[in-house]
A = this chain, B = another copy of it.
Amino acid sequence: MVLKKPSVTYQAISKRLKVSEEDTGSTSIQAADSTAINGNITPTDKKIGFLGLGLMGSGIVSNLLKMGHTVTVWNRTAEKCDLFIQEGAHLGRTPAEVVSTCDITFACVADPTAAKDLVLGPSGVLQGIRPGKCYVDMSTVDPETVMELAQVIVSRGGRFLEAPVAGNQQLSNDGMLMILAAGDHGVYEDCSSCFQAMGRTSFFLGEVGNAARMMLIINMVQGSFMATIAEGMTLAQVTGQSQQTLLDILIQSQLSSVFLDQKCQNILQGNFKPDFYLKYIQKDLRLAIALGDSVNHPTPMAAAANEVYKRAKALDQSDNDMSAVYRAYIH
């Protein structure tokens, strides 16, 4: 479909944003174009640990290894480590052992409970923390949890950075995640080559807790968008309109985004293979609502979306992609 006139492009938007960014307190590290093309990131010589090889962690570790980092991995179910060991990773037997043998240990697990267990549980991270050790939690959790973890790590002389990531499995595999970091700025700098390996860009957002807050807001927007898309696609269907035509129209409108296109494709194809687990976006909506709760801020859209995702979970869609929220509308 040939467009009459060029619309405002991502690039144009990005260029403008570049300027505006200089006015804000946030700083960011981007992978330079040439680096990206040549793959010429100079990997840090620090020993890297990685805990948690789920959808996101797997892609991240893969990219860390590709860019030449020395990585020790641990996962609750140890078999998942094998693939990475074949690619050159070392095996850690417990989180404590990984932390005690590495300079910087990253973790990426499912939810606040898992993040706390990993640190505070038996043979947990805390057992391995010594003065100077760096711990980077990439899980998407609530600010209270991350602040609590930061406190116990720091109280043992450790250095803490939270670094939740925006993206999905595909972007993780492609090294195109967006990293939101907050906490110890020195750790952020030490992670520079790691973040370049795994992500397209990173933001440093100040005090611990800010990255958790920002990530919850991003995912709240994402979750509500997804429910809205599913609502529109199903309303088209039940009123006799072509879902394909709806997508054709949307994709030419100013609402068009990669997200909207991909998720509508999922619906059209009935393909809900997880790129971002439905159960995790529901968790994030729940945590975002709680964030609003903590400051008495109403979030009626997120509240409505959360109820739809709960229905989807009741329909056994937890381990499908978030776009499977579609099924909550047709059952």
Q: Report whether A4 and B201 are in contact in the complex, using a CB–CB cutoff of 8 Å.
A: yes
Q: A227-B301, A298-B307, A314-B296 are in contact. Are A200 and B236 (CB under 8 A)?
A: no
- Residue interface bits A285-319, CB-to-B below 8 A is 1, else 0: 01010111101111111111111101101100000
Asked whether A217 is an interface residue with its Cβ less than 8 Å from the other chain, the reply is yes
In the docked arrangement, what's the CA distance between A203 and B246, Å? Answer: 10
In the docked arrangement, what's the CA distance between A31 and B2, Å? Answer: 8
Which residues of B have CB within 8 Å of A221?
228-229, 231-232, 250, 255
- Residue interface bits A1-12, CB-to-B below 8 A is 1, else 0: 111110111110
Q: Report whether A21 and B36 are in contact in the complex, using a CB–CB cutoff of 8 Å.
A: no
Asked whether A115 is an interface residue with its Cβ less than 8 Å from the other chain, the reply is no
A245, closest chain B residue (CB): B26
Residue total for A at the interface (Cβ-Cβ under 8 A): 109
Q: Nearest Cβ distance between residue A68 and chain B, in whole angstroms?
A: 17
Asked whether A155 is an interface residue with its Cβ less than 8 Å from the other chain, the reply is no
- Residue interface bits A147-190, CB-to-B below 8 A is 1, else 0: 00000000000000000001110010011101010000000000
Within 8 A of B (CB), among A191-208: 200-201, 203, 205
Which residues of B have CB within 8 Å of A175?
4
Partner of A7, one of B10, B30, B286: B10
Which residues of B have CB within 8 Å of A331?
331
Partner of A5, one of B9, B36, B205, B311: B36
In the docked arrangement, what's the CA distance between A222 and B229, Å? Answer: 10
A331, closest chain B residue (CB): B331
Asked whether A249 is an interface residue with its Cβ less than 8 Å from the other chain, the reply is yes
Q: Report whether B248 and A26 are in contact in the complex, using a CB–CB cutoff of 8 Å.
A: yes
Q: Report whether B176 and A5 are in contact in the complex, using a CB–CB cutoff of 8 Å.
A: yes
B-contacting residues of A (Cβ < 8 Å)? 1-5, 7-11, 13-15, 17-18, 20-21, 23-26, 28, 30-33, 35-36, 166-168, 171, 174-176, 178, 180, 200-201, 203, 205, 210, 213-214, 217-218, 220-222, 224-225, 227-229, 231-232, 234-236, 238-242, 244-262, 286, 288, 290-293, 295-308, 310-311, 313-314, 329, 331
